C-alpha cells in the first residue's frame, strides 16, 4: 500500500466479527467483514434484510445490543477504535461518525419544533450558545437545500413531507461536521422522485464537504452512479467487494447476479 | 364487461378553518377479468384514497364504484353479505395486516366461503391457497412472527384469495420488502391473476415495478389521472412530462447512466391547486395554455397535457 492511499483512508474495518447472545448460545451475525472508506468517497453496502448490513453500521457506532461480542480491528481517522473504551466511542459518535436512518418520521420527535431538535444536541455536544446554534441550524438547512430555513426551524415534523424530513435528518447528522456519514437505507421509505433528490444531495455534500458516506441499501441500482466501491453482504459476510462499475458490469458472485436480476431496470428494454 | 368500474370519482376533504381540499378529482378507471391495472403516483396523489373507495371502505364525494355491474356502497356496522364480497385487498405492511396471535390457517379460514363444505374441505381449500402462493402446508400451523416479510405478504395474498374474490386491490404490496422478495411477490401475483382470472388494481409509486406487472398503466398526479395506456406504450413513449420525470427518476444499474434526474419542486409545493394544470409549477415545458386545466383525451393511450393537444391554437 502506498503512503498516499494510507493517509487517504478514513475508515478501515478488518476481519470484523460480531456475535449476539441467543437462546441457544451466541449467534454469529457478522463474520470476517473487511471494508474501507477513503475521504470524500461514497461506499455502498448492498444486501437483503438480515444480511448484516445494518449490523455493520451499528458496530461502527457501538449501538449493538447488550452482550454482543465484537472482534476484529476498526481504524477510524488514523486511530484504532476500541469498543471497550466508552469515552472514546462517545467522542467518535456524532463528531466523527454520524448516522441517518431509514424512516425520517420515526427519527424526529413529533412534538418538538425542528429548531429545537436541531439545536439541542449542538448546545450539548458543541457548546454553542442558543444564538450560535440557531445560526448553525440555518446554515445546515441551507446545506441540505431546504427552502425557507428560518421558517422551517419554527415548524414541526408533521408539516414536512418524507423527503424534506430526510433532508432535515441529514442536516442534523451534519451538525458536528462528521467525517463519515452512515446512511442506512435513507431512501427506501421515499418516492422515486424524492429518492433522486436525496441521492443528488448526498453526492454534492460529498464533494462540497469532503464527506465520506457509507450508503446501505437493498437496491444495487441506487449505488450505480453514487458509490465508487460496493460491498455485497449475504448472511453476515461480504461475498463480493469491487469498484461499483465493475461489480455491476461483471458481477462475479451468484448472489450479486441474483440481486441484479431481481430489480427492474429502466435501462433494459426486452 | 369490466369487473371493477370507477366512474368520475371525486373526493373533498374539509378541515375547520381551511379551504376544501380536492384530493381526487374526476378519476375514471376500469379493471377487466385477468387484467392488471397499475396505478402510479407519488405519495399524496390520492392513489390510496382511490383504493379505499374501490373496496367500499369509504364513500367518495362524487362519482360511483361498480363491482361486476353492482354499485358498491360503504358499510356502517352491517356485515357485508357473502354475495357482496367480490373484492379483496392486500395492504402495504404485512406485519400489521395479519393478526399476530392467530395461526396462518385460522386467518385463511376466515375467508373461505361456507359453501365450500365441511370443515375438512374448507381446511383443504385454505391449504390449497397457501401452496398456490408458494408456501409449504406446514406453514399453516405457524404464527406470523415466524415468517419473513416476503412470506407474510404471500400469506396475506393467500388470505385475500381464500375469499374467492373477482378483483384484488393491492396497495403498495411490496414497498416494505427487499428487492428479491419484491420479485417473488410480484411473480406470485402475476401468476395468480392469470390462473384465477381475477382482475387486479396494483397501486405503487414504482413505475418500474408496474411495468413488470401491469397490462395497463395509469399515472396519477395530485388527484387526477394524467396519462393512461397500455404499459409498454406508456413506458416507451410517455406523453406526459410527469410520466417522463417518473421514469427518469428511477435509478439504473447501468454504471454509465449517471445519477437519476431530479424532478423540481414538491407535490404540495407552491403553485399546486391554483387552477390550470396541476403539474405546471414543476413542469419544464409549461407554457401559456397550461393556465387552463387539460382534460384526459385519447382513446387507447390517453394524456392530459396541452403539449399533446390537437388544438393547435393553444400550442401555438
Positive/negative CA dihedral, A42, A43, A45, A46: positive
User: Which residues are paired to B9 by β-bridges?
Assistant: B27
C-beta separation of A16 from A72 below 8 A: yes
Across the range A114-136, mean pLDDT stands at: 89
**pLDDT number for residue B280:** 86
- For residue A73, give how far its alpha carbon lies from the nearest alpha carbon of chain B (Å): 30
Is pTM, for the whole model, over 0.90?
Answer: no
Let me know if residue B312 belongs to a domain. no
> Total domain count for chain A?
1
Across the range B80-102, mean pLDDT stands at: 85
Using alpha carbons, list the distances in angstroms from residue B136 to A50, B122, B132, B180.
22, 17, 9, 19
Band of residue B268 on the pLDDT scale cut at 50, 70, 90:
low
Round the average pLDDT of chain B to a whole number and report it: 86
Say what the alpha-carbon torsion angle B292, B296, B298, B302 is, to the nearest 10 degrees.
120
DSSP 8-state class, residue A189: T
What would the pLDDT profile of B113-123 be if each residue is shown by its tens digit? 888 889 999 99
> Total domain count for chain B?
1
- For residue A238, give how far its alpha carbon lies from the nearest alpha carbon of chain B (Å): 18
Instruction: Please list, in sequence order, all residues whose beta carbon lies within 8 angstroms of the beta carbon of residue B255, skipping any fewer than 6 positions away.
Output: A224, A225, A244, A245, A248, A249
Band of residue A206 on the pLDDT scale cut at 50, 70, 90:
very high
What would the pLDDT profile of A237-249 be if each residue is shown by its tens digit? 999 999 999 999 9
DSSP 8-state class, residue B220: E
- State the CB neighbour count (10 A cutoff) for residue A78: 10
**pLDDT number for residue B56:** 83
Positive/negative CA dihedral, A129, A135, A140, A144: positive
**pLDDT number for residue B182:** 87
What number of CA atoms fall less than 13 Å from residue A59's CA on the CB side? 30
Band of residue B316 on the pLDDT scale cut at 50, 70, 90:
very low
- For residue A201, give how far its alpha carbon lies from the nearest alpha carbon of chain B (Å): 10
Q: How far apart are the two ends of chain A, measured CA to CA in Å?
A: 44
| Interchain pair A193, B148: CB under 8 A | no
Let me know if residue A79 belongs to a domain. no
Let me know if residue A167 belongs to a domain. yes
State the DSSP H helix or E strand holding residue B15, giving kind and residue range, or none if neither: none
Band of residue A116 on the pLDDT scale cut at 50, 70, 90:
very high
Instruction: Please list, in sequence order, all residues whose beta carbon lies within 8 angstroms of the beta carbon of residue A221, skipping any fewer than 6 positions away.
Output: A263, A265, B250, B251, B252, B253
Let me know if residue B142 belongs to a domain. yes
Task: Determine the Cα–Cα distance for residues A136 and A119; give it in Å rounded to an integer.
Answer: 8
Task: Determine the Cα–Cα distance for residues A16 and A60; give it in Å rounded to an integer.
Answer: 10
Let me know if residue A210 belongs to a domain. no
C-beta separation of A50 from A44 below 8 A: no
**pLDDT number for residue A252:** 94
Q: How far, in whole angstroms, is CA B119 from its chain's centroid?
A: 34
What number of CA atoms fall less than 13 Å from residue B166's CA on the CB side? 19
Collect all residues of chain B within an 8 Å Cβ-Cβ radius of residue A248: 253-255
Across the range B86-91, mean pLDDT stands at: 90
Let me know if residue A146 belongs to a domain. yes
Let me know if residue A136 belongs to a domain. yes
Residue written as grid cell 469491487: A242
Chain B CA closest to residue A102:
B176
State the DSSP H helix or E strand holding residue A232, giving kind and residue range, or none if neither: strand A229-234
**pLDDT number for residue B299:** 84
Band of residue A3 on the pLDDT scale cut at 50, 70, 90:
very low
Task: Determine the Cα–Cα distance for residues B90 and B15; give it in Å rounded to an integer.
Answer: 29
C-beta separation of B111 from B163 below 8 A: yes
Provide the grid cell at A32: 470476517
- State the CB neighbour count (10 A cutoff) for residue A65: 8
C-beta separation of A29 from A52 below 8 A: yes
**pLDDT number for residue B28:** 93
**pLDDT number for residue A243:** 96
Let me know if residue B118 belongs to a domain. yes
Q: ipTM of this predicted complex? A: 0.80
C-beta separation of B133 from B154 below 8 A: yes
Band of residue A122 on the pLDDT scale cut at 50, 70, 90:
confident
pLDDT value at A42 more than 90: yes
| Interchain pair B149, A245: CB under 8 A | no
Q: What percentage of residues in chain B have a pLDDT greater than 70?
A: 92
- For residue A19, give how far its alpha carbon lies from the nearest alpha carbon of chain B (Å): 21
Chain B CA closest to residue A185:
B178
Let me know if residue A182 belongs to a domain. no
Across the range B230-259, mean pLDDT stands at: 91
Structural domain boundaries enclosing A146: 102-175
Residue written as grid cell 405478504: B153
Mean pLDDT: which of A80-84, A228-232, B25-29, B179-183 is highest?
A228-232
Positive/negative CA dihedral, A232, A238, A244, A249: negative
Let me know if residue A8 belongs to a domain. no
pLDDT value at B62 more than 90: no
Q: Phi and psi dihedrals of A76, rounded to 5?
A: -130, 125
Instruction: Please list, in sequence order, all residues whose beta carbon lies within 8 angstroms of the beta carbon of residue B163, skipping any fewer than 6 positions away.
Output: B85, B88, B111, B112, B113
**pLDDT number for residue B122:** 93
Instruction: Please list, in sequence order, all residues whose beta carbon lies within 8 angstroms of the beta carbon of residue A24, skipping any fewer than 6 positions away.
Output: none
Chain A interface disruption, residue of B43, B45, B94, B179, most A CBs within 10 A: B179
pLDDT value at A113 more than 90: yes
pLDDT value at A270 more than 50: no
Instruction: Please list, in sequence order, all residues whose beta carbon lies within 8 angstroms of the beta carbon of residue A7, skipping any fewer than 6 positions away.
Output: A78
DSSP 8-state class, residue B149: H
What number of CA atoms fall less than 13 Å from residue A205's CA on the CB side? 28
Using alpha carbons, list the distances in angstroms from residue A269 to B228, B236, B242, B246.
20, 9, 21, 17
**pLDDT number for residue A6:** 53
Instruction: Please list, in sequence order, all residues whose beta carbon lies within 8 angstroms of the beta carbon of residue B247, skipping any fewer than 6 positions away.
Output: A266, B207, B235, B238
Round the average pLDDT of chain A to a whole number and report it: 89
Q: Is A174 exposed, middle or buried (0-12, 13-18, 19+ CB in 10 A)?
A: buried
Structural domain boundaries enclosing B96: 92-165
Instruction: Please list, in sequence order, all residues whose beta carbon lies within 8 angstroms of the beta carbon of residue B42, skipping any fewer than 6 positions away.
Output: A191, A193, A194, B205, B221, B267
Task: Determine the Cα–Cα distance for residues B215 and B17; give it in Å rounded to an integer.
Answer: 43
**pLDDT number for residue A217:** 93
User: Which residues are paired to B7 by β-bridges?
Assistant: B64
C-beta separation of A12 from A39 below 8 A: no
pLDDT value at A33 more than 70: yes
| Interchain pair B249, A192: CB under 8 A | yes
Size (chain A), residues: 270
Residues of B in CB contact (< 8 Å) with A are: 42-44, 148-149, 178-183, 205-209, 211-212, 236, 245-255, 257-263, 266-268
Band of residue A5 on the pLDDT scale cut at 50, 70, 90:
low
Band of residue B22 on the pLDDT scale cut at 50, 70, 90:
confident
- State the CB neighbour count (10 A cutoff) for residue B18: 8
What would the pLDDT profile of A141-199 be if each residue is shown by its tens digit? 999 999 889 999 999 999 988 889 999 999 999 998 999 999 999 998 888 888 999 99
Amino acid at each position: 500500500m502506498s503512503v498516499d492511499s494510507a493517509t487517504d483512508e478514513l475508515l478501515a474495518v478488518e476481519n470484523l466479527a460480531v456475535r449476539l447472545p441467543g437462546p441457544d448460545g451466541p449467534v454469529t451475525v457478522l463474520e470476517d467483514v473487511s471494508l474501507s472508506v477513503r475521504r470524500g468517497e461514497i461506499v455502498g453496502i448492498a444486501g437483503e434484510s438480515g444480511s448484516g448490513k445494518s449490523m455493520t453500521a451499528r458496530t461502527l457506532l457501538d449501538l449493538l445490543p447488550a452482550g454482543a461480542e465484537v472482534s476484529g480491528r476498526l481504524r477510524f481517522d488514523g486511530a484504532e477504535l476500541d469498543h471497550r473504551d466508552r469515552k472514546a466511542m462517545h467522542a467518535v459518535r456524532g463528531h466523527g461518525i454520524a448516522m441517518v436512518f431509514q424512516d425520517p418520521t420515526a427519527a424526529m420527535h413529533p412534538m418538538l419544533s425542528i429548531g429545537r431538535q436541531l439545536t439541542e444536541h449542538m448546545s450539548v455536544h458543541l457548546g454553542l450558545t442558543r444564538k450560535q446554534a440557531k445560526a448553525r441550524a440555518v446554515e445546515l438547512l441551507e446545506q441540505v437545500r431546504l427552502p425557507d430555513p428560518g421558517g422551517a426551524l419554527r415548524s414541526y415534523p408533521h408539516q414536512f413531507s418524507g423527503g424534506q424530513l430526510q433532508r432535515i435528518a441529514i442536516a442534523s447528522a451534519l451538525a458536528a461536521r462528521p467525517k463519515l456519514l452512515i446512511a442506512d437505507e435513507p431512501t427506501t421509505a421515499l418516492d422515486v422522485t424524492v429518492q433522486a433528490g436525496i441521492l443528488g444531495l448526498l453526492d454534492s455534500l460529498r464533494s462540497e464537504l469532503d464527506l465520506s458516506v457509507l450508503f446501505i441499501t437493498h437496491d444495487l441500482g441506487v449505488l450505480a452512479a453514487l458509490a465508487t466501491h460496493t460491498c455485497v453482504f449475504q448472511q453476515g459476510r461480504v461475498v463480493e467487494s469491487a469498484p461499483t462499475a465493475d461489480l455491476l458490469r461483471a458481477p462475479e458472485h451468484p448472489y450479486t447476479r441474483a440481486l441484479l436480476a431481481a430489480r427492474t431496470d429502466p435501462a433494459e428494454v426486452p | 364487461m369490466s369487473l371493477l368500474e370507477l366512474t368520475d370519482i371525486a373526493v373533498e376533504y374539509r378541515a375547520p378553518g381551511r379551504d376544501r381540499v380536492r384530493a381526487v378529482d374526476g378519476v375514471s378507471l376500469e379493471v377487466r377479468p385477468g387484467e392488471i391495472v397499475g396505478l402510479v403516483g407519488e405519495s399524496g396523489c390520492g392513489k390510496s384514497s382511490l383504493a379505499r373507495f374501490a373496496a367500499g371502505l369509504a364513500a367518495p364525494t362524487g362519482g360511483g364504484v361498480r363491482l361486476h355491474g353492482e354499485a358498491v356502497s360503504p358499510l356502517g356496522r352491517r356485515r357485508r353479505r357473502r354475495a357482496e364480497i367480490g373484492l379483496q385487498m392486500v395492504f402495504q405492511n404485512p406485519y400489521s395486516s395479519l393478526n399476530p396471535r392467530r395461526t396462518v390457517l385460522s386467518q385463511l379460514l376466515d375467508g373461505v366461503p361456507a359453501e365450500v363444505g365441511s370443515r375438512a374441505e374448507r381446511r383443504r381449500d385454505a391449504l390449497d391457497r397457501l401452496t398456490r402462493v408458494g408456501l409449504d402446508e406446514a406453514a399453516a400451523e405457524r404464527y406470523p412472527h415466524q415468517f419473513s416479510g416476503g412470506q407474510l405478504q404471500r400469506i396475506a395474498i393467500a388470505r385475500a384469495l381464500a375469499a374467492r374474490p373477482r378483483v384484488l386491490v393491492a396497495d403498495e404490496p411490496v414497498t416494505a420488502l427487499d428487492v428479491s422478495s419484491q420479485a417473488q411477490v410480484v411473480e406470485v401475483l402475476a401468476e395468480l391473476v392469470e390462473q384465477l382470472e381475477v382482475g387486479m388494481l396494483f397501486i405503487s409509486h414504482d413505475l418500474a415495478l408496474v411495468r413488470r406487472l401491469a397490462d395497463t398503466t395509469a399515472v396519477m398526479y395530485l388527484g387526477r389521472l394524467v396519462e393512461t395506456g397500455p404499459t409498454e406504450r406508456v413506458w416507451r413513449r410517455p406523453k406526459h412530462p410527469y410520466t417522463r420525470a417518473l421514469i427518469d427518476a428511477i435509478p439504473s444499474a447501468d454504471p454509465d447512466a449517471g445519477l437519476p434526474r431530479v424532478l423540481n419542486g414538491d407535490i404540495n409545493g407552491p403553485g399546486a391547486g391554483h387552477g390550470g394544470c396541476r403539474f405546471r409549477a414543476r413542469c419544464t415545458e409549461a407554457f401559456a395554455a397550461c393556465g387552463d386545466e387539460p382534460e384526459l383525451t385519447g382513446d387507447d393511450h390517453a394524456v392530459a397535457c396541452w403539449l399533446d393537444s390537437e388544438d393547435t391554437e393553444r400550442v401555438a
